[in-house]
Amino acid sequence: MDDGGWWGPVLRPGFLRSAAPWRAAGYLLVTGLTGLVLCAGLLLSVAAGGALAMLLVGLPLLAALALVGLPVAAWERRLARFLDGGRVPDPHRVPDRPGLAAWLRLRYRERVTWRELGFTALAAFVLWPVDLAVAGCALAVPGYLLAALPLLLLDGEQVNVLKLWEVHSPWTAALCGLAGLVLLPLAGYPPALVAAARAGLVRLLLGPDRQERRIGELVRSRARLVDAFEAERRRIERDLHDGAQQRLVALRMTLGLARLDVPPDGPLAARLAEAHREAGDVLAGLRELINGIHPQVLTDRGLPEACADAADHSPVPVTTRFALPARLPAPVESAGYFAVTEALANVAKHSGASAASVEGRYADGRLTIEVTDDGRGGADPGRGTGLTGLADRVAVVDGKLTVSSPPGGPTLVRVEIPCAPADGGAPR
């Protein structure tokens, strides 16, 4: 859509020589016929639902009519894009959970659903006569005037021009034809103006409002921040791995060689041995830090192997079981991995459990990870057990965290993240 907004094509100098007038007339014809069919369908549906409401059979039908605006709005958004090329975004949100019940619950709560229903009623009972009248008059009036003289010559006596007056003279019919030639170029403007106004109404009522646009921009900016944070974390991990860690390895090797060159029973040998041990401890701590920033096994082999590695380092015995169709996007794998490690850390510190399990699966476009332990239960995010931070970490990838931890246990931590396989679903 150009800088002129919805009126841009009408204001361009070459408007009449372009396809815009014909596109506007076609747009109004399609919307008019759609509104006519919609009017008949709504009247029949309301009548049938009202008649059957006394038997309680019509109540579901009447409730379903509240959602009739969804397909109508989708069709109108597509037609508006055909008219001026500008895309009308779909303002509906994606349900948090799969299934029809979650979809219906969200749709009935959204304000845009009721705006779409109001627009559907407007299109079915008000707009379609205007659309058909404008498009029909723009095409019929010049056509009738141009056809006046040929029709008179064929009839030989008279012709009814626009069904309004009778013409008997060929000269008068010729003047009607000239008037039709004058009106023919101008006939493209009324459909274009009405179509532009109608498309503007579609964008106003069926597109996202200011709050919904702001929410969408916040979601997109959050996704960009997540990607930037992940890239920065990988850069820090790579710099530590290739820089500080390699220098510590070289320092430890140098200290080890220096120990070989001094008498073993001298004071210098003891200091070198202490420095050698200290360098080893620092190197081990750095390796643990690098693994905490972003473990290499997660990058190389994926989420199941990384969680299995984290389970091997847990002081509590942990079993892992994953059923994933393919590798998942890197931010999703990272969020899932750190959710598992935080949950296992909570198990080791607070639960008093003797065993735990980690299960992961992918179904209905959603990664689900469950961490279960047989501890004492009573996990409370308000007591500083790390669950709040875990929920924040999962939320940045549109995930959801649920915790079930009754007193006496067991505790179940479930993480659900909507995603698609990173490689299109190729098997592992």
Q: Which two tokens stand for residue 22?
A: 């014909």
Q: Domain-by-domain residue ranges, the chain?
A: 5-208, 230-293, 297-418
Is the link from the previous residue into 317 a cis peptide, with omega within 30 of 0?
no
Other Cβ atoms closer than 10 A to 225? 11
Confidence at residue 358, expressed as pLDDT on a 0 to 100 scale: 92
- Asked whether the beta carbons of 9 and 86 are under 8 A apart, the reply is no
Q: What is the pLDDT of residue 13?
A: 64
Which one, of 368, 411, 373, 97, lies nearest residue 403 by Cα? 411
Residue 406: how many CB atoms within 10 A of its CB? Answer: 11
Distance in angstroms (rounded) separating the CA atoms of residues 315 and 301 = 23
CATH number of 297-418: 3.30.565.10
pLDDT along the chain (428 residues), means of 10: 50 67 84 91 83 70 84 89 77 74 85 90 91 79 62 61 60 65 68 85 82 65 64 68 74 79 76 79 70 71 88 89 87 86 86 89 88 83 64 78 83 87 54
Tell me the one-letter amino acid at 1. Answer: M
In angstroms, rounded to a whole number, what is the distance separating the alpha carbons of residues 63 and 9?
41
Long-range contacts (CB closer than 8 Å, 24 or more residues apart) made by 93-102: 94/418, 96/400, 97/416, 98/364, 98/365, 98/366, 99/364
CA distance 323 to 49: 46
Residue 9 is predicted with a pLDDT of 60
Long-range contacts of the stretch 161-169 (C-beta < 8 A, 24+): none
Record the pTM. Answer: 0.52
pLDDT of 250: 79
* pLDDT at 218 (0 to 100): 64
Q: Are strands 356-363 and 318-323 parallel, antiparallel or unpaired?
A: parallel
What is the C-alpha to C-alpha distance for residues 303 and 326, in angstroms, rounded to an integer?
Answer: 10
Structure confidence at residue 379 (pLDDT): 73
CA distance 65 to 49: 9
